[in-house]
Structure 1
Amino acid sequence: MLMHADLMLTLANDRNRELIAEAEKRQVLNNAREARRSRKAAEVRGRPTGRVASCEPSAVVPAR
């Protein structure tokens, strides 16, 4: 199959743009997932463990 050189160049450029767009989309989704994970981790970090919350705020005490 013989194609015109300009057509081949156009097809190659279009494919290159598609690959770049897919990579950018993947990167945006990965960044959003990572931000969501870190936000969830920050929310969990401040909560007490267990079912019953303590009445007093816990303080960090050095080990003896």
Structure 2
Amino acid sequence: MLIHPAISLTLADDHRRTLIAEADRERLATAARVRRGRRGSGTPPSPQATRLIPAR
């Protein structure tokens, strides 16, 4: 089956744009995760998490 060169080029360009968009999403998500880790999540830790449970 033959594909017209213009259609083949269009398909290749669409695929390339899709790959670039996926890479951008991953890069932005990673940058946001790193930023959140540096500044904290914005919510204070639960007081229950820091309490010690007495031994029985």
Please confirm whether the aligned pair reaches a TM-score higher than 0.5, indicating the same fold.
Answer: yes
**Structure 1: which 5+ residue stretches go unaligned?**
41-49, 52-64
**Structure 2: which 5+ residue stretches go unaligned?**
41-49, 52-56
TM-score by length of structure 1 reads 0.61
Residues 6-56 of structure 1: CA deviation (Å, up to 9, x unaligned): 00000000000000000001000000000000012xxxxxxxxx76xxxxx
2:38 matched to 1:38? yes
Larger Rg: 1 or 2?
1
Write out aligned runs for 1:1-64 (5 A). Answer: 1-40=1-40
Higher RCO (C-alpha 8 Å, min separation 6): 1
- Say how many residue pairs are matched: 42
Question: Using the alignment, how far apart are the partners of 1:29 and 1:22 within structure 2?
Answer: 11
TM-score by length of structure 2 reads 0.69
Q: Which has the higher helix share?
A: 2
RMSD: 1.3
